[in-house]
Structure 1
Amino acid sequence: MLLQFDPARLLAVAASELLDTPPDGTFDDLAQLALSITGAQKAFFTVADGRRSFWKAALGMDPAAGRENDIRDSPYHLLIGTGQPLIAEDAVTDPRIRDLAAVGALRIGAWAGFPVFSPDGYVLGGFYVVDRQARPFTPAQTQALQTLARSVSSEIALRQALRDSLALGAASAALARTLQDSLLPPRLPDPPGLDVAAVHLPADATGKSGMDVVGDFYDLFHTRGKNWAAVMGDVCGKGIDAARVTALARYTVRAEASQHTQPSTVLHRLHQAIAVQRVSDRFLTAALVTVRPAPGSAGFAGRYASAGHPAVLVRRAEGTVEELCAPGPFLHPDFPPDAARRTDTAFRLGPGGAVLLYTDGITEARTRDRGPLFGDERLKETLAATRGLDAAATLARLQEEAGKHSGGYAVDDTALMLVRAIPPS
């Protein structure tokens, strides 16, 4: 698992409460001191989650340029991966960073940066200077930059200790929600010919909705050629252990689906990763669907495999609903991966047809007095009644009907994703 996606590190980033906040005089002063010491043109203090590098301080930058960039485009991700300083005296020729988009976009000739740490030792961000020309940095300059980076770390620890002493309980829900959001895609892509939508709905069975990180997750991504993959998963339990399994599952599936076309093979490889890495003893269920344009006809051809997950549903354009069957055991580090048998089920999506992936939170919806479950059959009936609706409207209708049944009460977290073949205009 890439360190930038480590749930414990993401939780530390959330606890810092620095993302998406205004410029701060203290950090700007330290950045200005870095410019004075090194003679560089730009100085930054950045904080990053799994996707982006947010510039808390950015001296020498045009404000119109914004305050963030993709973490993959910046040398900053190397600080996360190593926890060590990075000095590139000639960025254009340095093999570690020369191919990064930021080198050209920010006109980086030389780069000198040091990691900034959370109180418990996770890399939150980086403190660094940028020069337009290739140049050396003297030992005194690098020592000063390291001292300034430690000062940033100390300032963060001081502020966090103060906040925790004042409002420890009130902060926990916000921290959990931030970590949860980091484990889900910020937005779904727009595959050609497909209409897609997804939602994640937290439970309130304990009266503490959002107070802990849950294991429901989904993802939609391009694999290769014209192939796309959709995955839905549910990790047993909540908390940091569930988040670790979620992160491992999501990024393992992405990596393996780019190499293997059969969903059953991808789930087998995920099972192996869970058994080898043993990030937790939680079990995981997952459903994986792949789709590609159907050769010689309109619509899409699909394949589906399951690891103990609720069966996906296919809604035909005329409104009929079919439950796809692809039996397979759930995933657990103590289960021998090679003993598990999974099969692929082929299906087709004609124009207007759709496939629904979901967790059991929706079928287990019920009132506070433990009335009847919403159930599998009611879900199928509701889905059938959405004939003609697009993906977002379909999910909204499912949420609405489940909410009516339960009186707005959610006993378990729910994730829904719908992939629909766009009909001709």
Structure 2
Amino acid sequence: MTQHASATDPAPGRRPELVPDPDVEAARIAAVRRYDILDTPPDGAFDRVAAMAARLFDVPVATVTIVDTDRIWFKAAHGLEGVAEIGREPGLCGSAILLDDTLVIPDTLQDPVAVDNPLVAGEMGVRFYAAAPITTPEGHRLGTVNVLDTRPRSITEEDTATLADLAAIVLDEMELRLSALRALREEQARREAETRHAEAERARAEAERAAREKAERDKAAIAAFASTLQRTLLPPALPVVPGLELACHYRTASAHDVGGDFYDVFPLDGDRWAFFLGDVCGKGPEAATVTALARHTLRAAAQINADPVTVLSALNTMLLTDVTAGRRFCTVLFGLLEPREDGGFTVTVATGGHPPGYHVRPDDSGAVWVRSVHPQGGMLVGAFPQAPFAQTTFSLTAGESLFLYTDGLTEARTAKGAILGEDGLTGFLHQRTGPVTATSLVEDSITLLASLPDGAGDDVALLALSVPHPHATPNGSVVATAHTAAAPDHFGQE
């Protein structure tokens, strides 16, 4: 019989009292915890083992016990009502788990270790006790299958083998239970992992949805801000100029960017009027700052001295000295309108590096006559302190128009991928038929852009001025409506 314990020296002929080895006991308790059976509810499989043991051995009491650190807990108890556990006193179960083989005590009163056990010395008066250890494959004895009687008796080796078989059945049930617990825990862990994953996916999807919604809100807010800001940089409506038709169009390449193109028409002293159209280098808030500065400066300078070259020189100085302008420059066409006594207007136009305007009128044969308005020598505005600017003067009479634009029009690409350019625009103007008016020039230019594969890749600003024939309108003037910087096309006319 192998003993995993030390024994005190007994008197001659007496069973020694065994003391657990600390390391072995620690490993055994760890095994008990691993099976997770302590304090579990009653289980029919273990109850049947206890009942079977009582029948086989014809005893009043049979139990299935698990030995804890300081108690003996009854997993099943046949014939022992109302007792769930007892202390781990030596003598019975506490001694049985220290042995590899079945412990048999024919008469407990004759056993010096068992005689003091409460089940022996108490009301129950156990006189016979036999127990087979419930032993794991690793050799850890978790508890015992016990049979008890109130009278002394002896059993055969076959009986002890039967008791050991019952203990093996209990271990099998515990292994099955442990496997079921592990499977259940793994399934619970899997489900919890799936739940966590699903919750994480929901959280991720919700975060993505919230991010998309925020991005859409931000996108809409940016577009609204850009559109609102752009409107502050353009005249809300073109004025009524007696004897003149005005039309305009503005389109940003992106609804989210503030464009750098600008234009205006405004009155001066007497019957004179000024107009300008320009393009700031770049886009966004920095370009908007320069646009606002340029528009304000051009208006203010023209009220002091309306000479176009002088006005552009004032803007050049302002852009070079105002820290808010940074290092940005712009191109500008600035013009002065003076009514003629015989009808129409004398137009003086100065250029600051801007693409040419076009003086357009139909000739006697019905063909369209186009002349470039491009004074030689005008440099970029805001690039050099002593930049020279040039101007030219011509007459704008009945049936004639002046067409101004930014480079978003001429840099648009045709179906063959080539840039439209000034030659393409001149050809387009030559090919027109019918009356030449500010409104028709702007409308036809919008149609031209819409016909190109990619439209305009840059911001486009158009401003057209025309002198109608006296019979065209009752008062010889046209009112331009307000328009915005949104991506859809807008033009002012009436």
TM-score range, shorter chain: 0.5 to 0.7
**Where does 1:177-192 land on structure 2 (aligned, <5 Å)?**
177-192=227-242
Rounded to whole Å, the distance in 1 between the matches of 2:304 and 2:312 is 12
Of 224, 227, 244, 1:174 maps to 224
- Superimposed CA distance per residue, residues 255-287 of structure 1 (whole angstroms, 9 cap, x where no aligned partner): 111221311110001111112213121111101
Of 343, 346, 357, 1:301 maps to 346
Bigger-Rg structure (1/2): 2
Answer yes or no: is the 8 Å Cα contact 2:449–2:456 preserved in 1: no
CA separation of 1:379 and 1:400: change in aligned 2, threshold 3 A? same
Greater CA drift, 308-317 or 192-201: 308-317
Rounded to whole Å, the distance in 2 between the matches of 1:335 and 1:386 is 43
- Superimposed CA distance per residue, residues 147-206 of structure 1 (whole angstroms, 9 cap, x where no aligned partner): xxxxxxxxxxxxxxxx97983233211211111111111110010000001100122xxx
Of 221, 234, 239, 2:284 maps to 239
Aligned residue identity for 1:196: L
Aligned to 2:387: 340
Rounded to whole Å, the distance in 2 between the matches of 1:165 and 1:412 is 24
Of 331, 342, 352, 2:399 maps to 352
Aligned to 2:294: 249
Answer yes or no: is the 8 Å Cα contact 1:379–1:398 preserved in 2: no
**Where does 1:7-156 land on structure 2 (aligned, <5 Å)?**
none
Rounded to whole Å, the distance in 2 between the matches of 1:380 and 1:242 is 29
CA separation of 1:167 and 1:345: change in aligned 2, threshold 3 A? same
Rounded to whole Å, the distance in 1 between the matches of 2:456 and 2:380 is 24
CA separation of 1:420 and 1:165: change in aligned 2, threshold 3 A? closer
- Superimposed CA distance per residue, residues 234-265 of structure 1 (whole angstroms, 9 cap, x where no aligned partner): 00111111000000101111111122131111
Rounded to whole Å, the distance in 2 between the matches of 1:165 and 1:393 is 40
Aligned residue identity for 2:270: G
Aligned to 2:373: 324
SS in 2 for 1:258: helix
- Give the Å deviation of 1:298: 2.3
CA separation of 1:316 and 1:165: change in aligned 2, threshold 3 A? closer
Pairs aligned (count): 252
SS in 2 for 1:344: strand
Of 453, 468, 471, 1:422 maps to 468
Aligned to 1:201: 251
- Give the Å deviation of 1:403: 2.3
Rounded to whole Å, the distance in 2 between the matches of 1:395 and 1:195 is 12
Aligned residue identity for 2:222: S
Rounded to whole Å, the distance in 2 between the matches of 1:164 and 1:277 is 37
Aligned residue identity for 2:333: A
**RMSD, aligned CA:** 1.9
- Give the Å deviation of 1:370: 7.6
Answer yes or no: is the 8 Å Cα contact 1:288–1:306 preserved in 2: yes
Answer yes or no: is the 8 Å Cα contact 1:386–1:394 preserved in 2: no
Aligned to 1:267: 312
Of 403, 417, 424, 1:371 maps to 417
Rounded to whole Å, the distance in 2 between the matches of 1:232 and 1:387 is 26
Answer yes or no: is the 8 Å Cα contact 1:317–1:351 preserved in 2: no
- Superimposed CA distance per residue, residues 69-114 of structure 1 (whole angstroms, 9 cap, x where no aligned partner): xxxxxxxxxxxxxxxxxxxxxxxxxxxxxxxxxxxxxxxxxxxxxx
SS in 2 for 1:281: coil
Rounded to whole Å, the distance in 2 between the matches of 1:341 and 1:402 is 33
Rounded to whole Å, the distance in 2 between the matches of 1:408 and 1:423 is 37
Aligned residue identity for 2:255: G
Aligned to 2:440: 393
- Give the Å deviation of 1:366: 1.1
Aligned to 2:331: 285
SS in 1 for 2:237: coil
- Give the Å deviation of 1:210: 0.9
SS in 2 for 1:316: strand
Answer yes or no: is the 8 Å Cα contact 2:401–2:436 preserved in 1: no
Rounded to whole Å, the distance in 2 between the matches of 1:246 and 1:387 is 36
- Give the Å deviation of 1:386: 5.2
Answer yes or no: is the 8 Å Cα contact 1:262–1:344 preserved in 2: no
Aligned residue identity for 2:406: T
Rounded to whole Å, the distance in 2 between the matches of 1:314 and 1:375 is 17
Rounded to whole Å, the distance in 1 between the matches of 2:301 and 2:239 is 19
CA separation of 1:165 and 1:232: change in aligned 2, threshold 3 A? closer
Answer yes or no: is the 8 Å Cα contact 2:319–2:329 preserved in 1: no
Answer yes or no: is the 8 Å Cα contact 1:198–1:415 preserved in 2: yes
Of 450, 454, 466, 1:403 maps to 450
CA separation of 1:394 and 1:325: change in aligned 2, threshold 3 A? closer
- Superimposed CA distance per residue, residues 286-307 of structure 1 (whole angstroms, 9 cap, x where no aligned partner): 0111111124x22211101011
Aligned to 2:428: 382
Rounded to whole Å, the distance in 2 between the matches of 1:362 and 1:372 is 13
Aligned residue identity for 1:289: G
- Superimposed CA distance per residue, residues 43-64 of structure 1 (whole angstroms, 9 cap, x where no aligned partner): xxxxxxxxxxxxxxxxxxxxxx
Q: Which runs of 4+ in 1 moved over 6 A?
A: 163-166
Give the TM-score normalised by the residue count of structure 1.
0.56
CA separation of 1:331 and 1:352: change in aligned 2, threshold 3 A? same
